């Protein structure tokens, strides 16, 4: 009988790519996996793992009062071998599962010590102190999994098994929903972005660049997939935003598999982030997805990103504040389609060699095996 694994989050969307399209399917090869997320729809027969739906509340207090009890009511009966939590608010819940005999994996997907400065909600000083208390307790008692090596600068001297599993791209997933074929670049130009939409992620800079671009390419289209982290009134206050409003399509949060077809024929994939919070230390996963789709990448000039994009020759790393340079790079890609295609192919080649989820999957499965491996003392008999 396969060991049972619970994947738990009270925050992630129901189609979170890392959890639903990478971790859960990878683990399902060797484990009985139950994925528990907010607003999950019944996917019976569609996956190799079971899914359970939780309610979602934006307020942390409401989640603790109303969502956490539902999670416990639905999941305590499973008696899992491993509980894998993706948000720190579930640390107290994880301690209960540990008391009942489960091994616990605490996955750190962001450096909240740096990230609180740009959070819009649930950032009261009380919550920050609560996080620090439980985070330090988790370090001592749980196996830790990290999405970035940079987080090890904060999480040092861990007593239990830990690992880094990067959020690289699943090539079979991209090829299934986007396709693997020769790129035909559309005219008028199309640009693609998938991720959180915020001023910290250079939405204001993007708008300024697109305004400059419109004088030469008035019919371009910019597809934006993701949750808005500002009010549209804030966007409308940006200088001359009304001039390009018709060129921008806000799709809202969308399952990645449904967003991918809109990248067909796109001139570039955009991933600009300003150097705030933990952004310079963390890969934006979209870089790897664009590379896998053979889209030239335009991203920030962080050293971490330069190592990927410039070494691969698959795009440009520029200042996330420089709208003039962004506009020039977009124009160059439009006017040099053959060179842009070469960039795209180099990006694809690099994902196949260096940035594929298949490599990270092996690290993940080995991490799980080490956690469940009996200690030598358990083989001793009296």
CA 198 to chain CA centroid, Å, is 15
pLDDT in tens, 78-113: 999 999 999 999 999 999 999 999 999 999 999 999
Inform me whether the pLDDT recorded for 198 exceeds 60: yes
Q: What whole-number distance in Å separates Cα of residue 187 and Cα of residue 64?
A: 50
Q: What pLDDT does 352 receive?
A: 97
The predicted model gives 65-76 an average pLDDT of: 95
pLDDT in tens, 112-152: 999 888 888 888 898 899 999 999 999 999 999 999 999 99
pLDDT in tens, 296-329: 999 999 999 999 999 999 999 999 999 999 999 9
pLDDT-derived band at 56, boundaries 50, 70, 90: very high
CATH superfamily ID and name for 171-353: Glycogen Phosphorylase B; (3.40.50.2000)
Q: Which tokens sit at 342?
A: 């070469």
The predicted model gives 260-280 an average pLDDT of: 96
Domain boundaries, the chain: 4-168+357-379, 171-353
Q: Show contacts of 194-197: CB within 8 Å, 24+ apart.
A: 194/225, 194/226, 194/254, 194/256, 194/259, 194/263, 194/286, 194/289, 195/225, 195/226, 195/271, 195/284, 195/285, 195/286, 196/226, 196/227, 196/229, 197/224, 197/226, 197/227, 197/228, 197/229, 197/230, 197/250
Judge whether 4-168+357-379 and 171-353 match in fold: yes
pLDDT in tens, 155-165: 999 999 999 99
pLDDT-derived band at 379, boundaries 50, 70, 90: very low
Q: Which tokens sit at 261?
A: 């077809």
**Assigned CATH for 4-168+357-379:** 3.40.50.2000
Inform me whether the pLDDT recorded for 377 exceeds 50: no
Q: What whole-number distance in Å separates Cα of residue 329 and Cα of residue 333?
A: 6
Name, in order, each residue with C-beta under 8 angstroms of 355's C-beta and a sequence gap of 6 or more: 166, 168, 169, 288, 291, 308
Cα–Cα nearest to 83, from 74, 68, 95, 73: 95
Q: What pLDDT does 375 receive?
A: 65
Q: What whole-number distance in Å separates Cα of residue 32 and Cα of residue 29?
A: 8
| Cβ–Cβ under 8 Å, residues 229 and 120 | yes
pTM for the full predicted model: 0.93
pLDDT in tens, 4-15: 999 999 999 999
């Amino acid at each position: 009988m396969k060991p049972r694994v619970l994947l738990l989050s009270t925050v992630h969307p129901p189609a979170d790519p890392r959890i639903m399209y990478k971790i859960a399917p990878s683990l399902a090869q060797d484990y009985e996996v139950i994925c528990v997320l907010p607003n999950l729809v019944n996917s019976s027969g569609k996956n190799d793992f079971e899914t359970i739906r939780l309610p979602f509340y934006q307020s942390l207090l409401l989640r603790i009062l109303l969502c956490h009890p539902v999670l416990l009511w639905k999941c305590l009966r499973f008696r899992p071998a491993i509980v894998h939590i993706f948000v720190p608010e579930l640390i107290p819940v994880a301690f209960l599962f540990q008391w009942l005999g489960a091994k616990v994996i605490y996955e750190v997907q962001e450096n909240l010590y740096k990230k609180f400065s740009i959070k819009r909600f649930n950032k009261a000083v009380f919550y920050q102190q609560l996080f620090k208390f439980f985070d330090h307790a988790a370090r001592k008692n749980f196996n830790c999994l990290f999405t970035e090596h940079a987080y090890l600068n904060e999480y040092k001297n861990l007593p239990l098994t830990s690992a880094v599993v990067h959020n690289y791209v699943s090539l079979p997933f991209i090829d299934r929903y986007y396709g693997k074929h020769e790129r035909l670049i559309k005219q008028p130009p199309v640009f693609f972005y998938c991720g959180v939409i915020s001023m910290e992620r250079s939405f204001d800079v993007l708008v300024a660049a697109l305004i400059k671009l419109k004088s030469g390419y008035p019919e371009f289209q910019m597809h934006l997939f993701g949750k808005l982290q500002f009010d549209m009134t804030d966007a409308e206050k940006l200088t001359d935003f009304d001039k390009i409003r018709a060129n921008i399509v806000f799709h809202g949060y969308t399952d990645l598999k449904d967003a991918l077809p809109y990248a067909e024929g796109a001139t570039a994939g955009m991933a600009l982030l300003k150097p705030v919070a933990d952004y310079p230390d963390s890969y934006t996963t979209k870089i790897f997805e664009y590379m896998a789709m053979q889209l030239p990448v335009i991203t920030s000039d962080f050293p971490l990103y330069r190592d990927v994009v410039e070494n691969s020759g698959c795009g440009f790393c520029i200042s996330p504040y420089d709208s003039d340079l962004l506009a020039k790079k977009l124009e160059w890609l439009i006017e040099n389609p053959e060179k842009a295609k070469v960039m795209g192919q180099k990006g694809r080649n690099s994902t196949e060699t260096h940035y594929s989820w298949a490599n990270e999957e092996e690290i993940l499965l080995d991490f799980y095996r080490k956690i469940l491996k009996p200690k030598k003392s358990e083989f001793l008999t009296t």
